[in-house]
Structure 1
Amino acid sequence: MSKQSRITKPTDDALPRRTAHLGDFTLTPRVLVITAYAVIVGAISALTAWALLSLIGLITNLVFYQRVDSKLVAPGLEHHSAWLILLAPVAGGLIVGLMARFGSEKIRGHGMPEAIEAILTGGSRVAPRIAVLKPISAAVSIGTGGPFGAEGPIIMTGGAVGSMLAQLTKMTADERKTLLVAGAAGGMAATFNSPLAAILLAVELLLFEWRPRSFIPVVASVCVAVLVRAPILGSGPIFPVNPGDFHLNAGVDALCVIAGLTGGLLAVGATYLVYLAEDGFKRLPVHWMWWPAIGGLIIGIGGLIEPRALGVGYDVIDQLLTGKAGLSLIFGILIVKTIIWSLSLGSGTSGGVLAPVFMIGGSLGALQGQVLPHVFPGFWAMMGLAAVVGGVMRSPLTGVIFTLELTHVWGVILPLVIAATTAYAVSCLILKRSVLTEKIARHGLHLTREYSTDPLETFFVNEVMDIDPLTLTPDDTVAEVAARLTVDPHAHTQRLIPVMGKDGQLASVVTIGRVMTALHRGDSGPLISDLMSTDVTTVFDNDTLRHVANVFAEHGVTRAPVVDRMAPDRLLGVISLDDLLHARKHDLGEEHVRERHLLVRRPTVEDD
């Protein structure tokens, strides 16, 4: 952070300092401390992911198979009583509603929006009880048949672990955010054995920045989480696909646009259904505590139609991606899973979105694979998966990398990029916000996920400052200043006037407001030395405008003298808050002003 430069005693320690300049970031030893904490958070997040998956397996086995086993298993593998399929999700929803009502309302939802909201509004502080209630509520919801993923609750739980560790020590809000995201990304990586996708998800959704101070700790957490995961959950791909020898050509790549278009439209429809359901539940004349149970009834009805649509569905995703799913299962998942997931998620129950999106996207692609050219079993399911993730999450790169890390089929990166980006474009054209950010917007928060260079970083002070400001001396009287202002009306807009010493060096400043106040009192005799400030904030001519904005915010000023870095008493000009708008105007011009720079001249008779 910049330090105030005092004219009365210029020293090296008093000079303004920058921590960032045109994208060149400076690391401090503090980053190493945060990284050490992140390593601990990553290990705990991996254990948390294992514990939650085991708890989901235990509840699923107890409810649907009446046995004690923590192995993750899907409902619907065997024949179940219709009453069990119908009422188990209702009972689970009722338990979740009671936990939310009398435990913490923060457990409602699918995890990632709640983590984002904690970052944006809560100073990255998460209550300790969330770390306990969120995974339990999710395990109950999914274990009783809820068509949700475990990753959302793991993200929130891992984030809560990171946040709690940060709250136990003296840290800034940015450092707490880093550890919160480190825990969330570590949990995600441990769930799917997908380190790069987890890092990308953190950057695209949670960090709101790409800076070494946060990126390095998050990567450290993810790497440790994957290492800890290996002996307890395995180190191979979650959904291994053996493509054999396959050949891609331009025709197949072009057809991936179709997969992207349909995936984007499905993502739009599913997002619309989620918030249509949420609006519908809000109109019900019952307390929100009962909504998850009503959502559970919708799940149960869907389960009677397609039992394989219940639960987290990893086995179904595996069948879709390996080309082993039959047409009836593909249709059942595509229709029933989409409807019950969207409608029940709008009830405010606890569960994640990624695994259902994987399943829905995979079923869409598998259906298209019935008519599109054969590449290898599961190829089009992979395209559909990446496309729907890119459309629903508005994270196309994450969709691509997730698909690659889930299957380890690295040779299809180009088709995946085409499908995911096309779906992303469709989603952005039709919807204002994604399924994640829409919920945040409904809470009255504005969130942008667009990354661009700050225009204030592309301009220097010497490009926008006033190089010929009005200056005074300490011996000038108020009457003399008034006379000069009459002759030079432009000086009225300067507002801050440098005061020069006898040696021609900057001595202090005085504001137009102080001068005009003295005039209005009828005091024309006082000297400028009686009105000038004793404490002056300065900036350098080769500072960026972003640095100046930070200095203004830190010291509560809107104008400052500009001095030479090599000679801090030498005045070069004055910069004001209005001058900072120059960069914004230039940025707007580059975005909206269309110009032609090359003209094609038609041949004339003289040319012949």
Structure 2
Amino acid sequence: MSSPILFAPRGPLADHSADRRMLLLAAAALVVGTGGAVGAWVLLKSIAIATNLFWFGRLSADPAAITDNALGIWLVAIPVIGSLIVGLMARFGSDKIRGHGIPEAIEAILFGESRLSLKVALLKPLSSAISIGSGGPFGAEGPIIMTGGAIGSLFAQSFHLSAAERKTLLVAGAAAGMTAIFGTPMAAILLAIEVLLFEWKPRSFVPVVLAVLVSFLWRPLLIEAGPLFPVHHALGLSPLLVALALGLGVLTGAQAAVLSSLLYKIEDLFGRLPLHWMWWPALGGLVVGLGGLIDAHVLGAGYDSIRGLLDGSLATRVAVALLLVKATVWLVALGSGTSGGVLAPLLLLGGALGFLLGQFLPGGGALWALAGMAGILSGAMRAPLTAALFAVELTGDFAMLPLTLAASAGAYAISVLVMRRSILTEKIARRGRHVLQEYTVDPLDFLQADQVMTPAPETLPDDMTVAEALAFFDAEDRHRSYPVVDGEGRLTGLLSRSDILRWRLDGAPVAASLVEALSDASQPSGTPSDPLARIADLMVESGSGRVPIVDAETRQVVGILTRHDMLKVRHLHRTLERERSQRLPS
């Protein structure tokens, strides 16, 4: 690469087809957003029905608290029965209903062309309702993300959309479902960006926002209006509180790392059992039932306990039980492969740690429960912005955003230092797939051909004979290929060593000119203003490792780009990220 690389801005390329696709997806998102909201309503009602049936023997869709049951020691059997049903559904229905929900959605997006089946859309909420309703220590967010995603994916498949468009609607449905459950539209959008989309494009951002807004508008009609856990802390933030929040974030980040490590160790232990995986959830349910005997607050999603942590009404004894017993039953149950989400349990565990530490910190336990919730979500999911905003949207206390942001940053920093992957992507990695949760700009997308090409390359005249070309390539230090130009320097083709070898083997007429002998005179070429990504596409499509660069108006050859030049760009980009220098610009 003989010319320097200049990092210069470039105006956007017009793509009217992309604009039309965005409008099409935006219209579809209105339907998907409604589907996500209805799916959330169905899931919550299903959980309520399952709770009433399992714990109180009545058919009702009204909310019920598991802690009000009077089963005594017999409550141990309820989680076992529910988990056994889930295991049977996974074995004879679809094994994709097992697990958190979010990792399965990520895997479908990255490796499954964003295709989810109708069977998953139906069985995932049903299995999760049975699991949570029978006392499983899970939240509804993972299942609704999977269910809402399935709604978006199925809608896209019905209209034969592309994989990228299916991904957009899958994520739109997932974000819509989360919005309906928690009433956190901004956090749902950020979750889509930080965890699910793996891109930042208008094509995906606009439909996701529209789906979330539609779901948010449906929520007061279907579920309830306002924050899920309305709390207001009449406390002004100070540098001390923000610093303490940063410290708490470090602790919750470490807590997230320990929980993630233990979860997958437990999963490995289940994998060594001489039993079919269908029976594992029942064993996990037994542990859940025993935990419920210690304290019934560890059973179910635990939204009442979250509310108690955030308003400061929860007893310290219960907070200790949540921190220790809830962690145990959640890890064992999730490691057994049953169906349920991770957000609500993480909120409880991080909130309990913050609540207990808050007994010794200024502001009280409720304030630090909020910071702990933000911290553990950030550390476990590697989604710091989502976690910071999710905590304040849950309460409606946006004045506490600096506090939750500090906790999220502290937890995120510790998480990336001590954990190789998040609690979500570790599950995918254990299936042999690597997921990178870092957003970077590909240098091939923002560098242009004239910033990297070799200018004024050596060319061959198109009236050169085959015999002269054979003699030319017999000389030493020849490149693999050369642009062929007419008398005015305009591109007519590309002569490569493979052409020379073919001519030698086939006995091409030595008196013929290059313009007559070349098999493909419509040589792909680029222009100086083309992004390198387009040149790379040309290389793949043509099978050529060298692409001539021509003036857009005259077609005269002004440069050439090679595959090696592309690799140099990537290498230089990584070098600039890693190498340090103290040299000041002159």
TM-score (structure 1 length as normaliser): 0.91
Query: Any idea what SS the aligned residue of 2:359 has?
Result: coil
Do structure 1's residue 174 and structure 2's residue 164 form an aligned pair? yes
Asked if the contact 1:264–1:427 (Cα under 8 Å) also holds between the matched residues in 2, the reply is yes
Instruction: Decide whether the 8 Å contact of 2:549 with 2:559 is kept in 1.
Output: yes
1:553 to 540, 543, 546: 540
Q: Residue 150 of structure 1 corresponds to which residue in structure 2?
A: 140
The CA deviation string for residues 519-563 of structure 1, in whole angstroms up to 9 with x for no partner, is: 466655543221352321110111121221233334443321111
**Contact 2:10-2:446 within 8 A present in 1 as well:** no
In 1, Cα distance between equivalents of 2:82 and 2:14: 49
**TM-align CA RMSD:** 1.8
Q: Report what 2:4 is aligned to.
A: none
Partner of 1:4: none
Greater Cα offset, 437-446 or 553-562: 553-562
Q: Does 1:596 align with 2:582?
A: yes
- Of 567, 571, 580 in structure 2, the residue corresponding to residue 585 of structure 1 is 571
| Aligned mates of 2:100, 2:10 — CA distance in 1 | 38
Does residue 1:444 correspond to 2:435, yes or no? no
The answer as to whether partners of 1:237 and 1:408 remain within 8 angstroms in 2 is: yes
SS of equivalent residue, structure 2 residue 67: coil
CA deviation string 1:124-170 (max 9, x = no partner)? 11111111111100000000000001111111111111111111112
Q: Is 2:400 aligned against 1:415?
A: no
Instruction: Give the conservation status (yes or no) of the 8 Å contact 2:66–2:135.
Output: yes
How many matched pairs? 573
Tell me if 1:304 matches 2:293: yes
Output one character per residue of 1:6-61: Cα deviation in whole Å (capped at 9) or x when no partner: xxxxxxxxxxxxxx967778541221111111110110110110111011011111
What is the deviation of 1:509?
Answer: 2.1
Q: 1:548 to 1:504 in 2, by over 3 A?
A: closer
Equivalent position of 1:333 in the other structure: 322
Residue in 2 that maps onto 1:251: 240
3-state SS, counterpart of residue 478 of structure 2 = helix
1:530 lines up with 2:520 in the alignment: no
Q: Deviations over 1:99-143 (max 9, x none)?
A: 011111111111111111111221111111111111100000000
For the structure 1 residues 359 and 120, does the alpha-carbon distance in structure 2 shift closer, same or farther, using more than 3 Å as the test?
same
1:270-285 matched pairs, under 5 angstroms = 270-285=259-274
Which of 340, 348, 358 is 2:337 aligned to? 348
Match of 2:366 in 1: 378
Task: Check 1:242–1:521 CA distance in 2 against 1; reply closer, same or farther (3 A cut).
Answer: closer
| Candidates 343, 351, 375, aligned match of 1:387 | 375
Q: 1:217 to 1:555 in 2, by over 3 A?
A: farther
Q: Quick check: 472-481 or 514-523, which moved more? A: 514-523
Does the 8 Å contact 2:492/2:522 carry over to 1?
A: no
Deviation sequence 1:465-520 (CA, Å, 0-9, x none): 12232322233123322433455x4432xx23211123432222222211133246
Cα separation, 1, equivalents of 2:553 and 2:284: 69
Q: Which residue of 2 aligns with 1:571?
A: 557
> Does 2:282 match 1:293?
yes
Instruction: Report if the CA contact (8 A) 2:454-2:560 is conserved.
Output: yes
**Aligned equivalents of 2:12, 2:381: Cα separation in 1:** 27
Which secondary structure state, in structure 1, belongs to the residue aligned with residue 582 of structure 2? Answer: coil
For the residues of structure 2 that align with 1:25 and 1:326, how far apart are their CA atoms?
Answer: 60
Equivalent in the alignment of 1:48? 39
- In the alignment, structure 1 residue 466 sits paired with structure 2 residue 454: yes
Whole-Å separation in 2 of the counterparts to 1:256 and 1:394: 18
Matched, 1:37 2:28: yes
Letter in 1 for 2:109: I
Q: Tell me, which stretches of 5 or more residues in structure 1 are unaligned? A: 1-19, 600-608
Aligned mates of 2:125, 2:13 — CA distance in 1: 40
* Structure 2 contact 463–486 (Cα < 8 Å) conserved: no
Shift of 1:463: 2.2
C-alpha separation in 1, matches of 2:68 and 2:352:
18
Structure-2 separation of matches of 1:182 and 1:507:
48
Range with bigger deviation, 356-365 or 573-582: 573-582
User: Is contact 1:366–1:380 with CA below 8 Å preserved after alignment?
Assistant: yes
On the 8 A contact 2:229/2:307 being kept in 1, the answer is yes
Q: 2:352 is matched by which residue type in structure 1?
A: S
Gaps of 5+ in 2: 1-8
**Pairs within 5 Å for 1:117-196:** 117-196=107-186
How big is the shift at 1:321?
0.5
Tell me how far apart the structure 2 counterparts of residues 497 and 578 of structure 1 sit (CA, whole Å).
15
**Contact 1:390-1:423 within 8 A present in 2 as well:** yes
Residues 28, 481 of structure 1: alpha-carbon distance in 2 compared, 3 angstrom cutoff = same
Q: Secondary structure at the match of 2:314?
A: coil
Please state how far the C-alpha of 1:386 moved relative to its aligned partner: 0.3
Counterpart check, 1:113 vs 2:103: yes
Letter in 1 for 2:20: P
SS at match of 2:126: helix
Distance 1:590 1:23, change over 3 A: farther
CA contact (8 A) 1:563 1:570 kept: yes
CA distance in 2, matches of 1:69, 1:530: 82
> Secondary structure at the residue paired with 2:195?
helix
Contact 1:243 1:376 in 2 (8 A): no
Q: 1:413 to 1:437 in 2, by over 3 A?
A: same
Correspondence 1:231 to 2:217 = no
Question: C-alpha separation between the residues in 2 aligned to 1:450 and 1:41?
Answer: 28
| Aligned residue identity for 1:560 | V
AA aligned to 1:327 is: T
d(CA) in 1 for partners of 2:452 and 2:262? 50
Q: Deviations over 1:277-310 (max 9, x none)?
A: 1100100000000011011011111111111000
In 2, the alpha carbon distance for the partners of 1:171 and 1:532 equals: 37
Distance 2:542 2:70 in 1: 70
- Other structure's SS at 2:482 match: strand
Contact 1:273–1:343 (8 Å) recurs in 2: no
Q: Distance in 1 between matches of 2:523 and 2:46?
A: 62
Instruction: Return the alpha-carbon distance in structure 1 between the equivalents of residues 434 and 288 of structure 2.
Output: 32
Pairing 1:496–2:481 present: yes
Deviation at residue 401 of structure 1 after TM alignment:
0.7
Quote the offset at 1:452 in angstroms.
1.1
SS in 2 for 1:146: coil
Would you say the 8 A contact 2:100–2:143 is kept in 1?
yes
Could you tell me how far apart the structure 2 residues matched to 1:147 and 1:80 are?
18
Q: Residue type matched to 1:358 in 2?
A: L
Q: Secondary structure at the match of 2:558?
A: strand
Quote the residue 1:8 is aligned against: none
Show the counterpart of 2:61: 70
User: Percent of aligned pairs with the same residue?
Assistant: 45
Residues 312 and 23 (structure 1 numbering): CA distance in 2 closer, same or farther, change over 3 Å? Answer: farther
Q: Distance in 1 between matches of 2:323 and 2:260?
A: 15
User: Whole-Å Cα distance in 2 between the matches of residues 451 and 118 of structure 1?
Assistant: 19
CA contact (8 A) 1:243 1:377 kept: no
Q: Deviations over 1:296-355 (max 9, x none)?
A: 011111111111000011000000011111110010001011111111101110000111
Report the CA distance between 1:443 and its aligned residue. 1.1
